[in-house]
Structure 1
Amino acid sequence: MSNSKHVKWSNLLSILLILCVMSICLFTKGNTVYALSTGKVTAISLNVRSKASATSASTDTSSSSSTFLKRYGYVKATSLNVRSSPSVSAPIVTKLPNKKYVLVLGQTAKSGTVWYKISAQVNGKTVKGYVSKEYIVLYATTTDKTAYNLATVNNSTLTAYKTANTYDTKRAALKLSQQVIVLGNLTVKGIPWSYIYAVVNGKGISGYVKASYLTKVTATIGNKESKTAVTTKTASAKKIAATMASNVEKLKKGTTVKIRGALTVLGKKWYKCDFYISGAIHTGYILTSCVEIPDDAAFLEELSKFPASYQNPIKELHEKYPKWHFARIHTELDWNTVIENESKIGRNVIQSNQPKGGSAGTYSAPFSYLSTEAGAYDWATDKFKVYDGSNWYCANSSVIAHYMDPRNALTKEGIWQFESLAYDSRQKKEVVQSILSNTFMKSSYSVKDKTTGKIVSDEYKDTFMEAGHINGVSPYFLAIRAKQELGLNGSGSVSGTYPGYTGYYNYFNIGAFDSSSGQAIANGLKYARSGTTYQRPWTNPYKAIVGGAGYIAAGYIKRGQNTLYTQKFNVVSSPFYSHQYMSNVQAPASESKSTHNSYFNMGIAEDTFVFYIPVYKNMPSSPCKLPASKGNPNSYLKNITIKHGTVTLPLTPTFDYRTKTYTMAVDHSVSQVKISAAPISTYAQVIDGTGTVNLPAGKTTTVSVVCKAGNGSKTTYTVKISRKA
């Protein structure tokens, strides 16, 4: 072929090729026609792949892809075609409406168009495909620091991510109740997220967590007061009331601050304080233990005698009631020794209806408050021993520790159990009347004396005042004690008509030692009828009140047991732990609350009072807490029965609830057994291991029978059954 012909044919072929390409590249997208556009490669080297994948062979010069983190987004088109592959000519899988949520799984660039591979829910089914990037709006997964709030984790574990995206890198695992600082908030696909700062394994991290797993904690307060104070040590002034918060400033010891308010955050007490830095006023939150409000030297001297763990609550009381005085009782007793002795069976009891099928409540302690020591509880029968009345049981040592820890009572309601019970001439008849105002003793009494036959009458308030004066005892205390012992409507102890003891009275239930047969009143009236000390026999209210006050003074107050607390817990008079007025472990707290109500109703609470507060050696660093309220603790089984048909097969050893492992050998003919078990406690249940069990020949089958107690604890019994080959 000649050169001219070759050129002509070449030109013709070129024209035909261009026409073919144009015909192929003219296509429709929706109702819009698109024409092929051209461009040039700007990279030094460009991989051209056979498919829309970074791992495909490099053959297709019109496509490219890169790594993409899964993200949520939504459609921004009236109707969006989802195609089976990243091409406008690919089949349409489905159509998505405007604002439809999608999960973007990847990103591909092909023929100049960037495609998202997406997943979406359509008619209850998951559909995947490709859409043009320009029609998808990705949710923002990061935010600026626009907040600074305290929160705690409310889930057992909480994952913090690099961004607000569960497909992103995990930064840390946060624990239940862990504190975090919330730095910002955002919403992704309708789900709130928080940008947080936390300390994990001693290191600070920031990340994103789902906001529903955080509980906001109030850690700021408005200006409520203005008191001048000084720092007692180097103090960190925090941005909010949290130790993990950023410092506004570190203040030196002796820095003057202005207290603008006080708040308690997660058990820690803080002052909001103003202070000067370089001539400008700044505000920060300082732990109350680092700040002192200047006061008279006498109070500072009193305070200095108490351990640090006592000082903050005492300072708070002093701020509100500056006339109050606080005296330390140096018991010199070891705390652990005290609790061990007060935990002796029968020494401290608490009221509960639970052992007899009742519920926990205000006057009914949960199972977890009761002692399970030998003598107080029988694990084999699930029986708690009654020690007083019909529903008083031994309190366990953690409950005793809580009520004995003086730091738990350093409140305006609890402090009165440390009030001095000695007589004071400033005490008023009107206060006694206020104490008695809602009881049967609110007015007067008038009875015929059993011995003299004369009518004895007087106002109750006058008799209590006289009883206090004569015996050196606070009449307030006497009135409260009678109210506590007799109730609002009185009892058979003061009716004068109790069978067998007509005409006798006992206003303080002295000698009224209760028992399961319920003879407390009779025992108390027997004491009132016998003997000649303390104006006995008590044949009228006057002699019972004045004489009973003399008994209390001689037996307790003059022995050094001159507070509600030390009358219940004898830690001041040898022999210790005996000669205790009552066995109810909650009595000092209960009587203290009654005293508080009476004093505050009368408006005398701000008068001068002296409180004698015990201190022990080797006390815990923080106040003892009550145990969590839980159900019955018994997770033992009463029996395990294994049958082959109607034949009961013997266990080795013989079943005992304390033995957890058993064996059994059976003949080859026994291919199957049925296992049943019963718990000791009606509150427990067998949750695993019972039913029909197949026994492979020549092998040992291990069965675990699990019993779960009412409080959630579990006991596992193991039975190994060997079948002959």
Structure 2
Amino acid sequence: MQKFMIGIFAFVLILASFGLPTADRANASSTYYAYVKSYTLKVRDKASTKYRTLRTLTMGNKVKVTRNVGAFSKVTYGRTTGYVQAKNLSRTKFRSYTAFVKSYTLKMRSNASTHYSVKKTLAMGNQVTVIGKGNKYALVSFGSLKGYVQNAYLLTTPFPSYTVYVTSPTLKLRDHASTHYHVLRTMQFRDQVTVTGKGVKYAQVNANGIIGYVQAKYLGTTPPPTLGYMTTQYPYSLSDAVNKQLKTLRLTDATYSLFVPKNNLTYNGIQWEANTATNVWGGPDNQSWVVTQIAKGKVVQLVRSLDNSDWDQVGFKTGWVNASPADVQYNLDPNNFQNGSAESYQFLDLSVPTAVNPDEVNNKLLKGRGILAGKAATFIQAANQQHINEIYLIVHALLETGNGSSPLATGYSVSSVNGQPVDQKVVYNMYGIGAVDSDPNEKGAEFAYQQGWFTPEAAIIGGAQFIASNYINSSVYHQNTLYKMRWNPANTGAAAHQYATDIGWAVKQARMLKDYYNLLSTYSLKFDIPKYR
């Protein structure tokens, strides 16, 4: 046995004398094929990262492994044989799968970094085949092209398309997800489209075969309300309408530049003040309009003294003032309020109930609104009986009652009317009718007593009758829109029977109406657009 062992040792020494690499032989394994699993892999002429690179392989390349040397494998790829890091090889071929682009655009690059060139820009919804994947990038094929994209922008399932409706008056369909890009077409309110992809701000849609991008906030999954439009022609021009309004009280809370004649101001050593009662004008001449008046002794700030002029510009807190002719014209001109905008709701026909859902009204408009909570059915009853818009009635009631919490809304005890004793009863007034500024609660309660409004329901229905007969369905005035209630355009004589002096009243009320309708899903509306000669 001792001779046998000595013989083996001698044979090993002989092999070593021929220079065969014993380390290689110790780590050798049978030949097999493997696949590159890193984005790139350098093939070197020896088993160390210090040695020369023969070539660079890419993800998915198939190599023949002939030997393992420590952390390296000796491989052959085509005509190149060298050493690669074994950790970047896999004996199992990557199982490719289909993926879909979920970003607006996705750059396919020549290598796995944003520093490399772009081979193609993919679009939202494009289908690719993932043929390799790392921590951040995936190697994909798209048609005949191969390149790298970021994993975060791929989905393994296609976007579940669904039908939506355009909810804005118009909506531009663009070829990319930005307002800077080309408009493919302009869609209209209630147009139906299919959403084929969606990002944070934009949605990709198919509009009758045209695929593009729109702002997602202007799409709704339920059919928008039915909107009808009609036009009423008036027998005079817009300028005639403006001139008529300039001859009556027209107020605004807007702020204007203010001017007074120099001779009407005195500096008392400390401050500037009016030395006489004077008009304050909207321009440095008496051809402009009178904004307001100030009394003698009114302290003002001198904004600037105009050179070569008899006027000074002043400043002080004004509050409600006379509106400028330009502002009157702006609010009178229907062309300034696009159909479908919040401001266009001043043209909403208030003489037509809008078929709202009572449960939806209770849950979305009247919930938590004091004594008005749960009263949707009563408002709808009043609307149907008086041929009046129920949401307008609700808005009016909420405003007048402080969201259903005012004394007149919650019940007010009355024992005398116009100074005469009556049977004491609790009354309700939901619209503030008869509640004059000097004594709103007493006068509003006395009016309610005279009308027999002894329950909240009676006050809702009876008040609706009063509003309808005096304005909305008046046989004399026919003021069935907020615009008509404010401006009374059918009156061809002097301005009269106008609900408010604020030139912005109709617009402000319209915005509130629109806000409430935005909370509802089922209703139909009719608009009456004024048109001047």
Normalised to the residue count of structure 2, the TM-score between the two structures is 0.43
Normalised to the residue count of structure 1, the TM-score between the two structures is 0.33
Considering Cα pairs closer than 8 Å and 6+ residues apart, tell me whether 1 or 2 has the greater RCO. Answer: 2
Higher helix share: 2
